[in-house]
Amino acid sequence: MGVGGRPLVFFLTLLFCITANASHCSTNGLPLVRNISELPQDNYGRPGLSHITVTGSILHGMKEVEVWLQTFAPGSHTPIHRHSCEEVFVVLKGSGTLYLASSSHSKYPGQPLELPIFSNSTFHIPVNDAHQVWNTNKHEDLQVLVIISRPPVKVFVYEDWFMPHTAAKLKFPFYWDEQCYQTPATKDEL
């Protein structure tokens, strides 16, 4: 490469340094308009799940809301869990079952209500109500758009519906926030 190539090498090196600072854990260099199909997608060690943080607190600096696009393969589901934020689901395709605790404010969640969910349905989860979403459809993926308040979410996970609230395990930061979260977890009360 001759002398004329040096400005090109310098420019490419500078461009690499600038884009390296715009990692998926940084809001530096993020465009305002993004293509969902180009956003990072992972199952975070949970077979049958595809999770995309469309916009979030840790990844994008959001303070009041976070939006996820999640796809569940037939038979896959969330753990039984609760969190101290409001949560709204919009079912984009497929069908399944929402399990919602019948007594979230007792000593344990109790036998859950079983509510069918289906394409174009929506539902919300009140703050600290234990719940679980299952793709009970054997032939089709369940895809949902999820909106949560007060991110990043602190999740308490249950082994079953009769596990006492005090025994639920805190998972914070949650799977999709682990790589970027920098501050130690604090306990969130029921």
Number of residues that make up the chain: 190
- Say if 171 falls within a structural domain: yes
pLDDT at residue 100 greater than cutoff 60: yes
Residue 83 is labelled as binding a ligand: yes
Residue 105 is labelled as binding a ligand: no
Residue 87 is labelled as binding a ligand: yes
Tell me the average pLDDT of the chain.
82
- Say if 146 falls within a structural domain: yes
pLDDT of residue 21: 38
Q: How far apart are the C-alpha atoms of 190 and 172, rounded to whole Å?
A: 15
Q: How far apart are the C-alpha atoms of 18 and 81, rounded to whole Å?
A: 40
pLDDT of residue 5: 55
Nearest to residue 179, comparing CAs of 55, 58, 45?
58
- Say if 72 falls within a structural domain: yes
Q: How far apart are the C-alpha atoms of 94 and 87, rounded to whole Å?
A: 19
pLDDT of residue 174: 66
User: What total number of domains does the chain contain?
Assistant: 1
46 CB neighbour count, 10 Å cutoff: 15
CATH code for the domain in which residue 77 is found: 2.60.120.10
pLDDT of residue 61: 77
pLDDT at residue 23 greater than cutoff 80: no
- What is the residue range of 129's domain? 42-177
- Say if 168 falls within a structural domain: yes
Q: How far apart are the C-alpha atoms of 186 and 176, rounded to whole Å?
A: 18
- Say if 25 falls within a structural domain: no
pLDDT tens digit string along 28-53?
667 778 888 888 888 888 899 999 98
Residue 124 is labelled as binding a ligand: no
Report the predicted TM-score, pTM, of the whole model to 2 decimal places: 0.78
pLDDT at residue 187 greater than cutoff 60: no
Q: Is 33 exposed, middle or buried (0-12, 13-18, 19+ CB in 10 A)?
A: exposed
pLDDT tens digit string along 80-90?
999 999 999 99
pLDDT of residue 9: 42
Higher pLDDT, 167 or 28: 167
